[in-house]
Structure 1
Amino acid sequence: MAGNQGQPQTVGGTAANALIKDTETASFGPDVIAESQIQPVLVDFWAPSCEPCKQLTPILEKVVKSAKGKVKLVKMNIDEHPQIPDRLGVRSIPAVIAFQKAQPIDGFMGALPESQIRGFIERLVGPIEASEDFLPQAEELLAGGDPTGAAEIFAGILKDDPSEFKALGGLIRSFVAAGEIESARRILSSVPAAGERDLAIVAAKAAVELAEQAAQVGDLAALMKAIEADPDNHEARFELAIALNAQGERDAAADQLLEIIRRDRTWNDDGARKQLLQFFDAWNLMDPATLTARRKLSSLLFS
Structure 2
Amino acid sequence: MQPSFPATPAPKPTVPGDIIKDGSDATFMADVIEASRTVPVLVDFWATWCGPCKQLGPALEKVVTAAKGAVRLVKIDTDKNPMVAGQLRIQSIPAVYAFYQGRPVDGFVGALPESQLKQFVDRLLQATGAAAPGGDDIATVLEEAKQILDQGDAEGAAAVYNEVLQAEPENAVAYVGLVRCLLAVGQTDDARKLIEGAPAAIAKSPELAGLKSQLDLADQARQAGPVPELMNRLARDPDDHQTRYDLALALYAAGKAEAAVEALLEIVKRDRDWNEQAARKQLLKFFEAFGPTDKLTVMARRKLSSILFS
TM-score (ref. length: structure 2)? 0.54
Residue of structure 2 in register with 1:13 after alignment: none
Identity %: 37
User: Is 1:259 the counterpart of 2:252 in the alignment?
Assistant: no
Q: 1:238 to 1:197 in 2, by over 3 A?
A: same
Counterpart residue type for residue 268 of structure 2: I
Residue of structure 1 in register with 2:252 after alignment: 245
Q: 1:228 to 1:174 in 2, by over 3 A?
A: farther
8 Å CA contact 1:170, 1:200 repeated in 2: no
Matches within 5 A, 1:118-267: 118=125, 128-129=135-136, 131-139=138-146, 147-267=154-274
Structure 1 residue 234: Cα displacement: 1.6
Residue of structure 2 in register with 1:290 after alignment: 297
8 Å CA contact 2:248, 2:260 repeated in 1: yes
Structure 1 residue 117: Cα displacement: 6.0
Equivalent residue for 2:277, pick from 265, 270, 278: 270
TM-score (ref. length: structure 1)? 0.55
CA distance in 1, matches of 2:144, 2:252: 24
8 Å CA contact 2:248, 2:261 repeated in 1: yes
Unaligned runs of 5+ in 1: 1-62, 67-106
Unaligned runs of 5+ in 2: 1-66, 71-113
Q: 1:141 to 1:295 in 2, by over 3 A?
A: farther
Structure 1 residue 163: Cα displacement: 0.8
Structure 1 residue 228: Cα displacement: 1.3
CA distance in 1, matches of 2:152, 2:255: 11
CA distance in 1, matches of 2:118, 2:298: 30
8 Å CA contact 1:169, 1:203 repeated in 2: no
Q: CA-atom RMSD, angstroms?
A: 3.3
CA distance in 2, matches of 1:139, 1:177: 12
Counterpart residue type for residue 289 of structure 1: L
CA distance in 1, matches of 2:118, 2:241: 45
Counterpart residue type for residue 234 of structure 2: I
8 Å CA contact 2:234, 2:244 repeated in 1: yes
SS at match of 2:268: helix
Query: In the comparison of the two structures, how many residue pairs are matched?
Result: 195
